[in-house]
Structure 1
Amino acid sequence: MVLRRRWDVANHGVEHLPEAGPVIVASNHVGLMDGPLLAIFCPRPVHALTKREMFEGRTGHGLRAVGQIPLDRTEVDPGAVKTCLRVLADGGVVGIYPEGTRGAGEFHHVHAGVAYLALVTGAPVVPVVNFGTRPPGGGMNALPPKSGRIDFVYGAPVRVEPQPWPRTREQVRATAVLLHRELVAHLDRARALTGRDLPGPITDLSPDDVVATRPVSTKENLHD
């Protein structure tokens, strides 16, 4: 209720989100409020991968209390992977930002972690695009303007056949290419549906965030 008094938040296409069972929600990432708003307004509880720097002090206690998952973005993080697999095995929803960090939100860079999780679990990947969570030209921590419209657009699930161990780099790479294509196609559909566009690149990215935007090759990425 507090957030709705500040912003006009709307969900589109929530019928695409399965009502039960494991789901991977893969969203573009443009602003500071993406994660909190997705977690609060998604029809199902979301356990989102969140950079570990956010898990400090009082904020960290709050994030852990609502089931968010700390992630080391500088290298493969087996602990985060195991937590995601546990959430999915229990029939929950994992939220992931395949681009790795906030940016233009165009899905120019997509990490292979989402492909790995889909291959291991067979959980459907539901693409999500958000508009309005950062004003055009806004910096890394810019907030949406008061009374601004925020749209979350859910797309049809992308289903990947689960692969038994050992999963090869080629399988992960091919699945990542498939998901990348589907995410970009959903962005086009979301633009057409809402008549909206993204806010453009962030100009005040830190060096750590620039590194996080580089796609991780399957050679460097997740393996059993």
Structure 2
Amino acid sequence: MTQAPARPRRWLLHGGRPTSRFLIRRGFGVRVHHGERVPPRGGVILAANHIGFADGPLLAIFSPRPVHALTKQEMFAGPLGAFLRTCGQVPLDRFHVDRGAVRTCVDVIERGGAVGVFPEGRRGPGDLSRFHRGAAYLALVSGAPVVPVAILGTREPGGSSRDLPRRGTTVHLHYGEPLRLQQQAWPRRREQVEEVSLLLRRRMLDNLAAATATTGLELPGPLPPDDLDDDPYTGLVPLEPGAP
């Protein structure tokens, strides 16, 4: 008998967002561009680049809809883990096939919720040069639209992966047009997931270019090698077909 997915909690994430926004904006600004591109109802996947520590919380709190974001399971140790669970975030084992996390995300989507995914896997330059297949796989399993999100301003050039935005600065969340796909019945072939991953990355790169043009901000550049999380190389797709 298949175990039912662990449904993420909702009350703090859904009910606490106005208070969280107020408190965050006392330190720095947050601007949302084209939030109307996020479908107002029904399951949806938000796929964002990943440059800094604050990306996940800001995506969950400031997106037009509450977001249950896939979060590396290492973050769920100690008191922070209890807080993340209360906020409805979804732990992910990045080093093994995590069917439990997939089932939880599909359950959220089927119940009309929003799931957040960072296809790069770890914080870095945010240029999508690394790209996991998870977002594309979820889209094919669920048939949910995928909305690209470009996050800019959560890390300064030369900053640490754990830095927060400087006081008085502005962070930008720029939403692209949804990518709508047909739900694919099992088995989903690797080639299908690869093709959709490449298409999604191109959409995300286009949205990132639009975001930098709109905001005047650039990506912060790479992190030092000693400030990078371990991240499995499996599940990545090349920037273009045939690229190394």
The CA deviation at 1:206 is 4.8
In the alignment, the residues of structure 1 paired with residue 59 and residue 98 of structure 2 have an alpha-carbon distance, to the nearest angstrom, of 23
Identity of aligned residues (%): 50
Q: Does 1:211 align with 2:231?
A: yes
In the alignment, the residues of structure 2 paired with residue 206 and residue 136 of structure 1 have an alpha-carbon distance, to the nearest angstrom, of 14
Kept after mapping to 2: 8 A contact 1:139/1:204 = no
In the other structure, the counterpart of 2:180 is 159
Give the ranges of 4+ consecutive aligned residues of structure 1 lying more than 4 Å apart after TM superposition: 204-207
In the alignment, the residues of structure 2 paired with residue 205 and residue 140 of structure 1 have an alpha-carbon distance, to the nearest angstrom, of 10
In the alignment, the residues of structure 1 paired with residue 27 and residue 231 of structure 2 have an alpha-carbon distance, to the nearest angstrom, of 33
Match of 1:46 among 64, 67, 81: 67
The CA deviation at 1:189 is 1.1
Match of 1:200 among 212, 218, 221: 221
In the other structure, the counterpart of 1:9 is 30
Greater RCO, CA 8 A, separation 6+: 1
**SS of residue paired to 1:136:** coil
Structure 2: runs of 5 or more not aligned:
1-21, 238-244
Kept after mapping to 1: 8 A contact 2:130/2:236 = no
Distance 1:215 1:127, change over 3 A: farther
In the alignment, the residues of structure 2 paired with residue 161 and residue 177 of structure 1 have an alpha-carbon distance, to the nearest angstrom, of 16
The one-letter code sitting in structure 2 at the alignment partner of 1:211 is D
In the alignment, the residues of structure 2 paired with residue 142 and residue 190 of structure 1 have an alpha-carbon distance, to the nearest angstrom, of 22
Match of 1:30 among 48, 51, 60: 51
The CA deviation at 1:142 is 1.4
**SS of residue paired to 1:35:** helix
Match of 2:170 among 125, 144, 149: 149
Equivalent residues, number: 216
In the alignment, the residues of structure 1 paired with residue 61 and residue 55 of structure 2 have an alpha-carbon distance, to the nearest angstrom, of 10
The CA deviation at 1:155 is 0.7
Kept after mapping to 1: 8 A contact 2:67/2:115 = yes
Mean Cα deviation higher: 188-197 or 19-28: 188-197
Kept after mapping to 1: 8 A contact 2:121/2:231 = no
In the alignment, the residues of structure 2 paired with residue 215 and residue 150 of structure 1 have an alpha-carbon distance, to the nearest angstrom, of 31
In the other structure, the counterpart of 1:221 is none
In the alignment, the residues of structure 1 paired with residue 52 and residue 142 of structure 2 have an alpha-carbon distance, to the nearest angstrom, of 29
Match of 1:130 among 133, 151, 155: 151
**SS of residue paired to 1:211:** coil
The CA deviation at 1:37 is 1.2
Distance 1:202 1:24, change over 3 A: same
Q: Does 1:70 align with 2:103?
A: no
| 1:148-181 Cα deviation digits (max 9, x unpaired) | 1111101110111111111111111111111111
**SS of residue paired to 1:185:** helix
Q: Does 1:81 align with 2:89?
A: no
Q: Given the two structures, how large is their TM-score scaled by the length of structure 2?
A: 0.85
Structure 1: runs of 5 or more not aligned:
219-224
In the other structure, the counterpart of 1:177 is 198
Kept after mapping to 2: 8 A contact 1:140/1:205 = no
**SS of residue paired to 2:231:** helix
The one-letter code sitting in structure 2 at the alignment partner of 1:164 is A
In the alignment, the residues of structure 1 paired with residue 57 and residue 224 of structure 2 have an alpha-carbon distance, to the nearest angstrom, of 22
